[in-house]
Amino acid sequence: MRNIKLTLQYDGSKYKGWQKQKEEDNTIQGKLEALLSKMTEEEIQVHGCGRTDAGVHALNYVANFQTTKDLAPGYILDYCYKYLPQDIQVTEVKEVPLKFHARYNAKSKTYVYSIYNNKHRDVFNLKHCTHVEEPLNIDAMREATKYLIGTHDFQSFTTLKSKTKSTVRTINSIEFTKEGDYINISYTGDGFLMNMVRIITGTLIEVGLGIITPEEVEVIRDKKERKYAKAVAEAKGLFLKEVNY
C-alpha cells in the first residue's frame, strides 16, 4: 500500500464545498475521488485537510489517498492536470509515509479573506472578494482582534451545532494588509470551526463600519451563543492559503 499526498488549488465558485455529499458529486472531494478511482481502477477515498464551504477557494489545499498501484507521482500529476476541471488543479504529488493524514497531522492553517473596499465594485474580481461600499476603519478592526487572538471558546462564531465537539480553538495571529482598495485579513490558527472565519470576518466588518465597537467583540465572544454574532461574510472572499505540518 502507498500513501500519496496531493497539494491542490481550486476556485470554489461553482462547487458545493470540499466534502462529498451523498447525492451530490459537485464537490472537490467528489471530483477527485471519481478521477483517481478511474485512474487506479480502485475505489479511492481522499482525505482532505479540512472542509471548505460552498463557494470557498483554496490556494494550497492538502489531501492524501492510498493505493496499491505503482504509479509515479509525475504520472498522477499529469493525469490530474489533463482530466480535472480547469478550476481544480493539483500542483504537487508526493509519496509519503503511510501514517501521514492530511487532516489529523495538520498543526496550523492560514486562511485569507479578501475585501474590496470601494464605492463601486470591481467587475473583474466579483467571484473572489466581498465588496464593501462604505469606508472601513482598519484601525478599529485591528483593535477588535485582540479579543480573538489566543485560546478561546469560539461558540459564538460558529454554526456548529454539536453538543459534544469542543468549540475551543487557538488563533495565533490575525493580520491586515491593504493594497489599493483591497483589504486582506489573514488568520492563522490550530484549526477553525464551521463558518468560523466568515463569522469573525463579518463581525470585524461591522466594527470597521462602526456598527459595533471593538470592545463589543469581547462581549460577543464571552456570550458563547451563536445568535450574538449575526454577521456572516460571503463565502466567495475566503481562501485557504496554507496548511502547516
**Which structural domain range is residue 228 located in?**
108-244
Check: pTM over 0.85? Answer yes or no.
yes
Q: Clarify whether residues 127 and 220 are in a common domain.
A: yes
The CATH number assigned to the domain holding 85 equals: 3.30.70.580
- Among 9, 3, 16, CA closest to 58: 9
Domain count, the chain: 2
Q: How much is the pLDDT for 24?
A: 64
Q: What are the residue numbers of the active site?
A: 53
Does 21 fall in a domain?
yes
- The one-character DSSP state at 149 is S
- Among 108, 72, 109, CA closest to 93: 72
Q: Clarify whether residues 135 and 204 are in a common domain.
A: yes
- Among 85, 7, 80, 70, CA closest to 38: 80
Q: Are strands 182-189 and 238-244 parallel, antiparallel or unpaired?
A: unpaired
- pLDDT tens digits, one per residue of 103-132: 999 999 999 999 999 999 999 999 999 999
d(CA 97, CA 74): 18
Q: Clarify whether residues 142 and 234 are in a common domain.
A: yes
Does 25 fall in a domain?
yes
Q: How much is the pLDDT for 22?
A: 74
Q: How much is the pLDDT for 23?
A: 66
Q: Clarify whether residues 84 and 114 are in a common domain.
A: no
Q: How much is the pLDDT for 160?
A: 84
Q: Clarify whether residues 187 and 71 are in a common domain.
A: no
pLDDT means per 10 residues in the chain (245 residues)?
98 94 84 96 96 95 97 98 97 98 97 97 92 97 98 94 86 97 97 95 98 97 92 96 97
Within the chain, strands assigned E span 2-10, 47-48, 57-67, 88-96, 108-117, 130-132, 150-153, 168-179, 182-189, 238-244
